[in-house]
Chains A and B, each alone.
Chain A
């Protein structure tokens, strides 16, 4: 396949229909909800979705209602990749035995960062290593939002959360964000990419490319969360754009080990522009911001971003 194929050049190329439908209970401006809607537009109805426990599951499935117009299953918090392994293996063997129509059905995992980089890391690693044909999307809002904004392994340095409080002795999260795309890429899977809702066509194309790829594909989406980031909902998309433009969250894809930056940022904005509007970084001093800027510069240099 052509790995750089642009399936969606304009918004008109995306279907009008939705398979993640309105009526769900996400907060206003929820990046997860926007991303999921786009991803399902990109993949279409021939898709089976697996979600672990988390905001997405809670907001979309208040029994007896559902926002899912595609088949959807939630089992537990730490095992979405294992459940998806079973779905994929089941479809494969049933088709081989002639019990299912032979057609391409996308197996799609839509998981939070906690369900991916922390408690679900083992089952994800196992599934990646076994080479199941699925697209795993991490909707990274950088904390356990569903349970009330506790830190995760994806929470940024010095970020406030309810379990990395800003006090007299400690000031926010003490560790740097886990580099999950690199961890996935180390499994030598055919496709790894990052995306945000501020670049929706980039996001939709990456989802589609990942789904079309033979073998495991991984998409890491920075999913803005106005509630947990202490941000006005109307800035949700804008902040996602700033994350990219400051180099805080670069957009790239790794195809068969080759990394390519997909949204070039000729001149990066200072990282302070991304941090300042967010209440979760309110306590940062100029010194703290300089430290974060240094780290961002280092990461960008590593990716070849000027």
Chain B
């Protein structure tokens, strides 16, 4: 058995990279992610594990160096946030489309302007379509567990895609939480100490990576990428089941809370799920049939599981921390309305935007959203309700 520790969430991420025995770390400092790379630098300098730590001069180069290292068969890790993720944008697609296993921690941060270092989901949502596997973690334990399993998912021959594990900047980076840290030998039963790369830059077997794709072939390549991403869901589930068998902590693509007889439920991702659970409890005490779905896997979007989990609901409340500017509200809201429409489901989707730019989303904010729905203040024509909360 491992040991129970108190750990800063950022350090939980660094511990995951260390226990995964990563070969190459290439990262650039940006708040609120910085503690992750600082801790990794300390670990490497102290000789706690053997990795090449590349002090790149930008996030663009961080992800590019990860591609280079991944291409020779190394296990690589990077971490970023907000502007850093935006700077990587171009290369994120290439990492995924050319099928390089890479694991990245993203401490979600609001994109400028105005310069703001606090947490929301505008960074990850602006790179939503980059073809990565995108997972959301709520707390230190999840950050560690999901990052560790991310390596196994990413390197699986049926997947070969990069994985981003997201968690709220500050709310899930700069807090100290309790966490179970497994033993090295336990980790090795789950994740082999090294990658075995089938396709790599190897002078004994020369391969060409990143060729020009003419219109005669590009469409097919893009479709294969989409299929690989969609098919990865099965592998993700398998890996998490195996994780549960080894470590006794069980994860799935979504996590229902008090959903058995719920009529109105929230759906959201990340650290605010904890606050939302308290709100659901309070609403239950007040006699409402409230529930919550925590979405752990955002891409590939777990359609079937969401349809099943919402099959008895009257109303689903989406809580987005990003506005699709000039569009139709938040990204989750859009995805869910599209999903239900396609399946002709009679379910109301009430879209709320909250927590933008690091604004706290409190228990009473969730209650307020719920009350608005109950009072019928949310109509289908309106698609955006901003909960300002308190500053």
Contacts and interface: CB of A to CB of B under 8 A. Distances in A.
A18 to B, nearest CB: 13
A39 interface: no
A60 B207 CA distance: 13
Task: Pick from B52, B91, B205, B211 the residue with the most CB of A within 10 Å.
Answer: B211
Most buried by B among A66, A88, A94, A99: A94
B61 A85 contact: yes
B212 A83 contact: no
- Chain B contact-residue range equals 35 or more
A60 B212 CA distance: 9
B206 A72 contact: yes
Given A46-B203, A63-B212, A63-B214, A89 B60 contact: no
A164 interface: no
Contacts of A73: 67-68, 71, 201, 208-210
Contacts of B73: 90, 94, 99-100
Contact of A75 (B24, B76, B210): B210
Contacts, number: 169
Nearest to B51: A93
A93 B54 contact: no
A84 interface: yes
B57 to A, nearest CB: 3
A86 B194 contact: no
Interface stretch (A123-131, A196-204, A245-253, A265-273): A123-131
A91 B55 CA distance: 17
Contacts of A32: none
Interface in B57-98: 57-58, 60-62, 64-74, 76, 90-91, 94, 98
Interface in A66-83: 66, 68-76, 78-79, 81-83
Contacts of A92: 52
Given A48-B203, A85-B61, A90 B68 contact: yes
A45 B91 CA distance: 28
Interface string B23-64: 110100000000000000000000000111011111011101
Interface of B: 23-24, 26, 50-52, 54-58, 60-62, 64-74, 76, 90-91, 94, 98, 194, 200-203, 205-214, 217
24 contacts: A48-B201, A61-B208, A64-B211, A70-B203, A71-B209, A72-B207, A72-B209, A73-B67, A76-B90, A79-B60, A83-B68, A85-B26, A85-B54, A85-B61, A86-B69, A86-B71, A87-B68, A89-B26, A90-B70, A91-B72, A92-B52, A123-B58, A123-B60, A127-B61
